Structure formats: structure tokens, C-alpha cells
């Protein structure tokens, strides 16, 4: 019987410090819940002399990651350093040295989760990664456990706080993208190089993890069709609002005939949908199961406190299982191979905005091109363009059409002389 | 090593049939996830000859509950019969016979959960009760596991679908209580005797379970101050709407200095709060942890599908633990004794509606009585009463005041000659 659980940590930034502070400050409470105290043995950091908010006993800090992952007194390695390499190699080494792992690393789990889990499970070990998606919102555990009996049909999520903050500012204050981005950077919500967030890459990692768990198959981040938010303009937000919509960067994975589709893109969400009201740095995930119907999870998707909460949930759960002598739990997909489909067959309504020449017959030409492709129009708005003198902005909402058909129609429209450019092409979700 | 998990069931109504259908129809999938097939051994029913949607092998149905709870081939007993007795005695007998238990029984868990869990844990067994609160919404597992590291400061919940349906009809269509109740009864959302729902008793059971888990102490349903919805009128809903609020039956448990308070009552919720938009038979629970901040869980709180989903989540989790040879997990409170306080010290704003005599000086008298007690007024509306000729309806919104102070002030107002009656006295939450 274990009388102490040895904890090793890789990384002692904001989240790492939060985890360490709680392990020290709530030690008695955690020991009662788990059945044994959790003791921080070693923490790998780059610079051990840096001043930190948490004070650890002498000798705990080390610059040698291998001293953490191979320490025989360590049962669980908590990885909160982030990135794929070299951290992935360390995690693998920890597993091979017989350690359970708790990680907040979405990139690593998205890219190598199933392989790492296989390595762990073959040794009676587990890898937990609740903090990799949605910060403090329980999502991984519900997908692994609480909704296990369901056939999951759809996951719709706002899971990137940076972009949601930017889009909220654009929607509420009419800001242009660059201005809202700069504001987010000023507040530390966006990084100096915001590519990972604003191009939807971060959201694609997270969606691939949730979709893999939900559909119990392997959905790679490269399977996720990803469109960023950088081409959105204040005009699109004003148009959306006037028509009863909000623009959100939505991560959607859904089951269709013959497979699943997964995509991250800015879309129009009707004001009536709960996801339309998830603002600022909040995250929300809507999961549809065939038994339970639609369940919504909402909360702070990032930040030291929420991420600390999720890391500790996993750590306490693992520690408790160790005390009880349990072997690893499975609950990670690859149950069946479900093909990941292209989006051609996916149907939705669309919002289109064109810059067109401001002369008679333009709308007729565009309408004919859409009609010939089989796409029917539900609403049209034409307004003077702010950008040029001879052009106008034409906004079209379509009825439901297959994306492949829509793409063909757009290709035809792009060739029309009267169309200066295709400004926006956004799906309507819900 | 277990090669099969034997399942016994008490009850085969809508939920029981859903559980049995899934265990038969998804048997292979469940076996892969759990590591061994789950086999229904015996099901206790009142009338074995009743036609049912699910067809079980001959000999499985029995009228003898003891044949289920003592069958040596049964590992887990699923109790979905409901009520406190005789079911509580059966559950206890099952535990004493070495069975794990899964139950959807909020009354039983609210009243006897800690004692039953103690009996189970002392034998290395577990009792799971995700389905007892919020149907298919994961709530018990998040409170037991995902939010375990947090100090929970507040739980606010809409957890009774019947009353939420009635209140939604009253709010959206201006119906009176009796009319909305009859509509709910016609649709099967309310029982012929609706007392348990409309008086808040069902919500108090559920809140006591969540509060016990969240605060890791014992909160009994009798500790929950409970006010039903039967005295609400269409006028209150119209007033609330005009002032930017919705009336909801809210179950709230929160940590104050020196203890916690728990209450179920109709309250005014501002339109800006997510809980104000939870309509119809939907449930939602907002949990505030010191690390994770506010997390919202929303979904269908009742019905055969959602409840089946929750029962199966517990059953699969237990079955998996049995296959892995794990002993019971704890994660149920009584960690510390936290006193449950009366509500006198609780502060909030209030909505008051009086029937008053329609003559000069009435408002002054009421305002003076409130002012003398130290309650200040934030808004006043007076309108002609629909009910009488000589009376008027006076609606007052107060600034924040302690409930004890407010109660004293109301006692003073009740004694004023000009006040015919105190029609409504509702807290404002949020």
C-alpha cells in the first residue's frame, strides 16, 4: 500500500506554480480525499534562480528533466511545459520509467495521444489530459466517462479564448480585426505571434482530441479543415448582427453518413443559440449524444486558475487510483475506424459578401450563377462600398446547399467580370 | 479476473427499459470499453406479464427483489424504482450481499446517501448516483472528481424540469399558475399530485446532494429552506419582465462567513444571466470554484434517454473498475463539518408586491417602515389592481439588505392598515 504519492513536475510557470501552491497549501485536504499525501519530489525548470511565487523545499528545483522522469520516488509526472518536442520525448521516457503522466499539452495529445496512451496502458499506466482542452471546464472526463454510453453525433465548441475575445470586441464595438487583435495582445490574451490562435490551429488540436474521444476513432489535427479569423471585417459583423447572427470561431465535429467531418472556421451563429452568447475569453462546448440529447459545458477556457483546477483533478484522480491499487483505465477511443470525410457533402446555409461593380444587371448575373449551380438565395442586401467608388458590397444569404456545390458556384462567380472580389464566405451554423 | 459483469436491476419502467435495451443492443461496444461483457441476470418488477418494449431472456424477470439483491452472479445492482422505502432496505441488503449499487434515487441518496456509502465503502464497494441529479447532465462526477481541487463557493441551479416548464409558460404566455400547471400535467411533465415538484421538495433533495458533495459536508434536505411556486401570479411575471428579470425556481447553496446556506425558492434572475435563458424542461447548474471560476452545465434534466445515459455512465465506470480489480473510490464528502446557517444573515435585493388601499399617503407609510428598518428602495411601481376596486398593486424593488432585516420590515408593513396583503416577496439573484 502506498503511503505517499511522489509528484514530479516539468515546468513551473503560472500553471505549474498554481499546482505547486495548491499541493502545498491544500496538502491535508488532498491527503484525506486521496488516502495518502502528495509530495512534490522534483520540479524541472529552465532557470532555478528565477524568483517565483511558490517556495519549494531546497533541492526540489532542477534543470535536469531526466532527474524528474527517472526519479524512483516519483509516481506521477505532471507536464505543464507545453509544445511538442522535446516534451514528447520526456513524457515517453517518464512512461518507460513507470510513471503515470498528467499533461495540459494539447499539441502533444492531439499529435501523439493514442501512441503515448498505448505505451502507458501496456505498462499498466495512465495519461490524463483534462487540462488540454477548455481549461477548467470538465470536458475530457465527460467524454471518456459520463457520456460513454452514448453515440456522440455532434460536438460544437468555442474553444479558443483569444479568438473569442477578438471576435467579441469586433462584434460589440465594431472594431476591425487588427485593432481588436492589438487590444488582445495588449491584455496578454494574444501572443506577439498570434498565428496559432487566429489561424485556428489551437482550436484544431483541441477539436481533434474531443472528436477522437467522442467518436472513439482517430481524428488527427490535420483532418480538421481549418480557417482562421484574419480575413473578417467590421462589415461582416455589422451585416451578421443586422440579420440576427453573431460571428464565432466554431470548432465542429459531426457524424454524417459514412464518416465524420471536423472543421474550425468562423461561422454565423443565430442569436437564439446558447453559443452565440458565449463572449470574451469564455469557452463553451455543446455535445450531442443519442441518449442524453444536447449537453452544454461552459466556463473559463484558459488562465492559471482554471488550468490548475483541471491538472489537479487528474492528479488527484490518479493518486487515488494508485492508493487503491487500480491499474490504468482505458476510455480512449480507437474503438472503430470511422473515416474522416471531406466537407464537400456537408450541407449548410451560407453568408456571402462580394465586392461588385456598381452597375445594372450585376445581381442578376450572380443570382443566375448561383441558381444554375442549384443554390437558392434566401436574402440579399446591397449597400454602397466603403472602400471604392465604382463598387458596391453585395451580401447574400443562401438556403441550405452542399459545400461542394457552393464551391463550384463561387468559382463561377469569381470569373464574372462584374465581381471585383469575394470578400467573405461563411457557413451558418444552427 | 472477471470475465463477465453480472447486472441486476430493480425496476423496469422507462429508464429501466432504456438501460436494458442499451445493455443488449450495445453489448459488444460496452464490452470493448469495459473489458468484459455486462450481462443482465435478474430484473425485479411488480408485474412480469406486463408488455414491455425490451425483451429479456426467459427467467430474467422476477417479482422477488431479494432474488436480485442476493444473487451471487450479480456484481452490480441498478436501482431505478425510486422512492425511499422499501427501496432503501433493498439497497442496503444488496450492499451487505457484496454488490455495488447504481441508483437514480435522489430521495434515497439525499436522505441516506452518506450512511449507505459508509456501509458500501467499509466493504470495498461503491454506490454511484449520477442520475439522481440533472438527468443526463454530468454533475455528480464533476463535483466528486473534476472540481475536487477547488474550494466550492456557490452552486446555483435550475434542477426541476416540471417547475421550469410551468414558469416558462407563465413567463412567455402570461398564463396563471393553475393554467400552466394543468398544461404541464396534460403533457405528462407534472404528476397528478404535483406537490413534490411545485413545492420545491424535489429540488431540495437534489440541492442537498450537490451541496453535500460540493462543500464536502452533510447538507440534509431538511437544511434547505424551501419555497414553492404556487403563489406566483401572472402579474409578478409581467412586472419582472418589465424590469429586466425572469422568475426562476433557483436552488442555491453558498458559502458565507461561518457556514453555508441552502435554499430553493422562486427568485428574480436578470436577463443578462445565463440561467435566465434556461427554458422549458431544461436544467442548468452553475458551480463556482475558487480555482476554476464559474462553470455552467446545461442539458435535459429528466426523461428516459438522459437518465439512461447517466445510469449507464455509472454502470460502465463501476464495471470497468471491477474488471481492473479496483476497490471502491471515495470522493464523497463529510470531510469537515460545516454548519448550515439560517438565512437571516444572507443579503440580497428583493422584489415586493403589496395589495394596498388606493388612497394618499400609502407609499409614504410603507417607505417609512422600510427606511426605519434600514431597507432602501431602488424602484417603485404602482398600478391599478385587477382584483379589487379600492386597492392598488404596489411593487417595490429594494437595494441589498439582510434577510433578517427584510423580514422585520415586512412584519411591520403587514401591520399597516393600508396594506391589504403582501402578495409576493422574492429575492433577486445575481
**A314-345 tens-digit pLDDT:** 999 999 888 887 665 655 456 677 888 887 77
Residue A263 has a pLDDT of: 96
Strand partners, B428: B268, B349
Q: Which residue shows C-alpha cell 430493480?
A: B10
Residue B90 has a pLDDT of: 96
CB contacts of B288 in chain A (<8 Å) are none
Phi, psi (rounded to 5 degrees) for B113 = -55, -55
The four Cα atoms B372, B374, B376, B381 give a dihedral, to 10 degrees, of -50
pLDDT in tens, B36-93: 999 999 999 999 889 888 999 989 999 999 999 999 999 999 999 987 788 999 999 9
Q: What is the mean pLDDT of chain B?
A: 92
Find the closest chain A residue to B273 by CA distance. A277
Which of A36, A146, A298 is the best residue to mutate to test the B interface, defined by the most B CB atoms within 10 Å of its own CB? A146
pLDDT band at B351 (very low <50, low <70, confident <90, very high): very high
Residue B385 has a pLDDT of: 62
Number of Cβ within a 10 Å radius of residue B417: 8
Mean pLDDT, residues B197-207: 98
Q: Residues A103, A109, A114, A116: is their CA dihedral positive or negative? A: negative
Q: In 3-state terms, what secondary structure has residue B268?
A: strand
Comparing CA positions, the residue from B205, B223, B264 lying closest to residue B84 is B205
- Cβ contact, residue pair A149, B26, below 8 Å: yes
How far is Cα B161 from Cα B284, in angstroms, rounded to an integer?
10
Find the closest chain B residue to A314 by CA distance. B146
Contacts of B364 (CB under 8 A, 6+ apart): none
Instruction: Indicate the burial class of B123 (C-beta count within 10 angstroms; 0-12, 13-18, 19 or more).
Output: middle
Instruction: Indicate the burial class of A417 (C-beta count within 10 angstroms; 0-12, 13-18, 19 or more).
Output: exposed
How far is Cα B161 from Cα B178, in angstroms, rounded to an integer?
17
Comparing CA positions, the residue from B240, B231, B206, B236 lying closest to residue B221 is B206
The whole-number mean pLDDT for each consecutive block of 10 residues of chain A, a chain of 430 residues, reads 92 95 96 93 93 91 96 97 87 97 96 93 92 96 94 97 96 96 95 97 98 93 96 94 96 92 97 93 96 97 93 94 72 68 86 89 92 93 70 92 92 91 90
How far is Cα A186 from Cα A192, in angstroms, rounded to an integer?
9
**Catalytic residue, candidates B106, B111, B206, B248:** B206
A281 to chain B nearest CA, in Å?
A: 12
Please say whether the beta carbons of A270 and A427 come within 8 A.
no
- Cβ contact, residue pair A326, B326, below 8 Å: yes
ipTM attached to this prediction: 0.93
Choose among A295, A306, A326: nearest Cβ to B291. Answer: A306
- Cβ contact, residue pair B313, A136, below 8 Å: no
B325 to chain A nearest CA, in Å?
A: 6
Comparing CA positions, the residue from B210, B274, B313, B252 lying closest to residue A296 is B274
Comparing CA positions, the residue from B139, B154, B149 lying closest to residue B109 is B139
Find the closest chain A residue to B128 by CA distance. A146
Mean pLDDT, residues B385-390: 64
Residue A332 has a pLDDT of: 47
Size of interface A-B (CB pairs under 8 A): 184
Share of chain B above pLDDT 90, in %: 78
How far is Cα A310 from Cα A301, in angstroms, rounded to an integer?
11
Residue A336 has a pLDDT of: 73
Instruction: Indicate the burial class of A73 (C-beta count within 10 angstroms; 0-12, 13-18, 19 or more).
Output: exposed
Q: Taking each helix axis from N to C terminus, what angle separates B403-414 and B362-373, rounded to the nearest 10 degrees?
A: 150
- Cβ contact, residue pair A141, B137, below 8 Å: no
Comparing CA positions, the residue from A100, A107, A104, A103 lying closest to residue A85 is A107
Which of B21, B129, B142, B146 is the best residue to mutate to test the A interface, defined by the most A CB atoms within 10 Å of its own CB? B146
Comparing A337 with B149, the larger pLDDT belongs to B149
Residue B332 has a pLDDT of: 47
Residue B335 has a pLDDT of: 67
Residue B261 has a pLDDT of: 94
Mean pLDDT, residues B139-152: 95
Mean pLDDT, residues B105-118: 94
Residue B328 has a pLDDT of: 57
Q: Taking each helix axis from N to C terminus, what angle separates B27-34 and B304-323, rounded to the nearest 10 degrees?
A: 40
Comparing A82 with B318, the larger pLDDT belongs to B318
pLDDT in tens, B258-287: 899 999 999 999 999 999 999 998 999 999
Phi, psi (rounded to 5 degrees) for B357 = -70, 140
**Catalytic residue, candidates A99, A106, A111, A206:** A206
Radius of gyration of chain B (CA): 24
Q: In 3-state terms, what secondary structure has residue A127?
A: strand
B52 to chain A nearest CA, in Å?
A: 19
Cα angle B164, B166, B171; round to 5: 90
Q: Is it the case that residue B206 has pLDDT exceeding 70?
A: yes
How far is Cα B23 from Cα B252, in angstroms, rounded to an integer?
36
B72 to chain A nearest CA, in Å?
A: 24
pTM for the whole thing?
0.94
Question: Within its chain, how far is the Cα of B27 from the centroid?
Answer: 32
In the DSSP assignment, the letter for residue A291 is T
pLDDT in tens, B239-261: 999 999 999 999 999 998 889 99
In the DSSP assignment, the letter for residue B122 is T
Q: Reply yes or no on whether B111 is catalytic.
A: no
Q: Which residue shows C-alpha cell 464497494?
A: B125
Please say whether the beta carbons of B273 and B125 come within 8 A.
no
Q: Is it the case that residue B384 has pLDDT exceeding 90?
A: no
Amino acid at each position: 500500500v502506498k503511503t505517499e504519492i511522489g509528484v514530479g513536475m516539468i515546468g513551473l510557470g503560472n500553471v505549474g506554480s498554481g499546482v505547486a501552491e495548491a499541493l502545498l497549501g491544500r496538502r491535508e485536504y488532498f491527503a484525506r480525499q486521496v488516502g495518502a499525501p502528495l509530495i512534490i519530489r522534483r520540479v524541472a525548470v529552465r532557470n532555478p534562480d528565477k524568483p517565483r511565487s511558490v517556495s519549494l523545499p531546497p533541492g526540489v528545483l532542477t534543470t535536469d528533466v531526466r532527474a524528474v522522469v527517472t526519479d524512483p520516488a516519483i509516481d506521477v509526472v505532471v507536464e505543464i511545459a507545453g509544445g511538442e518536442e522535446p516534451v514528447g520525448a520526456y513524457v515517453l521516457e517518464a512512461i518507460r520509467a513507470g510513471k503515470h503522466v498528467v499533461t495540459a499539452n494539447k499539441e502533444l495529445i492531439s499529435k501523439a495521444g493514442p501512441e503515448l496512451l498505448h505505451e502507458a496502458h501496456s505498462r499498466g499506466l495512465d495519461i490524463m489530459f483534462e487540462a488540454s482542452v477548455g481549461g477548467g471546464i470538465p470536458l475530457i472526463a465527460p467524454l471518456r466517462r459520463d457520456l460513454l454510453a452514448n453515440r456522440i453525433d455532434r460536438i460544437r465548441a468555442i474553444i479558443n479564448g483569444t479568438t473569442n475575445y477578438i471576435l467579441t470586441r469586433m462584434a460589440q464595438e465594431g472594431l476591425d480585426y487588427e485593432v481588436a487583435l492589438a487590444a488582445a495582445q495588449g491584455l496578454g490574451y494574444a501572443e506577439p505571434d498570434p498565428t496559432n490562435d487566429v489561424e485556428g490551429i489551437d482550436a484544431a488540436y483541441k477539436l481533434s482530441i474531443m472528436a477522437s474521444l467522442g467518436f472513439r476513432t482517430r481524428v488527427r489535427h490535420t483532418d480538421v479543415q481549418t480557417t482562421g479569423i484574419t480575413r473578417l471585417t467590421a462589415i461582416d459583423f455589422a451585416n451578421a448582427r443586422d440579420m440576427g447572427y453573431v460571428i464565432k470561431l466554431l470548432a465542429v465535429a459531426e457524424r454524417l453518413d459514412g464518416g465524420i467531418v471536423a472543421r474550425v472556421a468562423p461561422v454565423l451563429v443565430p442569436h437564439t443559440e446558447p453559443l452565440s452568447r458565449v463572449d470574451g475569453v469564455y469557452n463553451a462546448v455543446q455535445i450531442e449524444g443519442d441518449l442524453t440529447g444536447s449537453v452544454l459545458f461552459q466556463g473559463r477556457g484558459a488562465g492559471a486558475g482554471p488550468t490548475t483546477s483541471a491538472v489537479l483533478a487528474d492528479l488527484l484522480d490518479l493518486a487515488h487510483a494508485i492508493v487503491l491499487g487500480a491499474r490504468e483505465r482505458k476510455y480512449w477511443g480507437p474503438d472503430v475506424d470511422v473515416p474522416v470525410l471531406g466537407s464537400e457533402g456537408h450541407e449548410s446555409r451560407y453568408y456571402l459578401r462580394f465586392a461588385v461593380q456598381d452597375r445594372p444587371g450585376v445581381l442578376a448575373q450572380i443570382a443566375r450563377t448561383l441558381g444554375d449551380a442549384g443554390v437558392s438565395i434566401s436574402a440579399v442586401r446591397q449597400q454602397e462600398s466603403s472602400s471604392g467608388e465604382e463598387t458596391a458590397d453585395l451580401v447574400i444569404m443562401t438556403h441550405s446547399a452542399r459545400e461542394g456545390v457552393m464551391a463550384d458556384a463561387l468559382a463561377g462567380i469569381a470569373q464574372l467580370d462584374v465581381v471585383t472580389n469575394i470578400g467573405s464566405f461563411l457557413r451558418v451554423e444552427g
